[in-house]
Structure 1
Amino acid sequence: MADFQTPNLPSRDFDRTVAFMTPLGFEPGYRSDGWMIMTRGSLQVEYFAYPDLPAEHGYGCCLRLDDLDSFYETCFAAGVPVCTTGTPRLHPAIEESWGRRAALIDPDGVLFHLIQN
């Protein structure tokens, strides 16, 4: 196996995180009282239990995707609203000088930058 890294993100409630991430194509893997791993193809996200996570926390990561549009449509079809406030929510893709990006904010306010490979 090649070296790789995974984001470690907070979850106030693992069951709620699983309920949100599963329709987006992520599958639960390892889980204990304090740690959980979810995968979607080659993407892997690890969560640590943080039931007292403050509302304004600043956690986030990048998901670099071969098909940004398909993942965005999966999120939208799963009922994640496109809006500028609240959680969860989606932000539409925009063109940057370096490529395309969109954003997904989960129910805990964790920001996923969605980057087109």
Structure 2
Amino acid sequence: MTEVITANLPARDFNKTEAFYTRLGFETRFRNEGWMIMGLGGTQVEFFPHPELDPKTSWFSACLRSDDIEALHAQFSEAGLPKDQTAAPRLTEIFKLDTAPRMFALVDEDGSLWRVLDETDLAA
């Protein structure tokens, strides 16, 4: 038996969300008018329509664990996202908090926060 849990995030406009995530290296695996699934390697994220969402007040988030956050950060950096702490979208540098693994943050155009965590730091 195999179980999988996927993040479900809002999208104000599937065309814009699809274009944004494609720039990061995701591929579209399913799409209709009410649902979209995008994948990156062996992982995926699902999007639902939320046209009235205000990205500045969004509280949606997801975690992505990687055993090579440097490579993933480099890949996401190629999209040329702003680093400004108030911008949406934006991409932070890799950082470490005292009680958490190394990570970086990505905020998409709809204000959803991704915490990209160093899987090797979680295991330590």
Structure 1 equivalent of residue 54 of structure 2? 54
Distance 1:65 1:16 in 2: 25
Unpaired segments of 5 or more residues in structure 2? 120-124
Structure 2 equivalent of residue 87 of structure 1? 88
Corresponding residue SS for 2:88: coil
TM-score, length basis structure 1:
0.93
Structure 2 equivalent of residue 102 of structure 1? 104
Matched letter for residue 78 of structure 2? A
Aligned 8 A contact 2:6 2:45 in 1? yes
Unpaired segments of 5 or more residues in structure 1? none
Distance 1:57 1:99 in 2: 24
TM-score, length basis structure 2:
0.89
Structure 1 equivalent of residue 23 of structure 2? 23
Once the two structures are superposed, what CA deviation does each residue of 1:58-106 show, in whole Å capped at 9, x if it has no partner?
0001011121111111111111122211111011111233420110000
Matched letter for residue 74 of structure 1? Q
Distance 2:43 2:107 in 1: 17
Structure 1 equivalent of residue 32 of structure 2? 32
- Runs of 4+ in structure 1 over 6 Å off: none
Identity of aligned residues (%): 41
2:103 paired with 1:75? no
Further displaced range: 33-42 or 94-103: 94-103
Alignment coverage as a number of residue pairs: 117
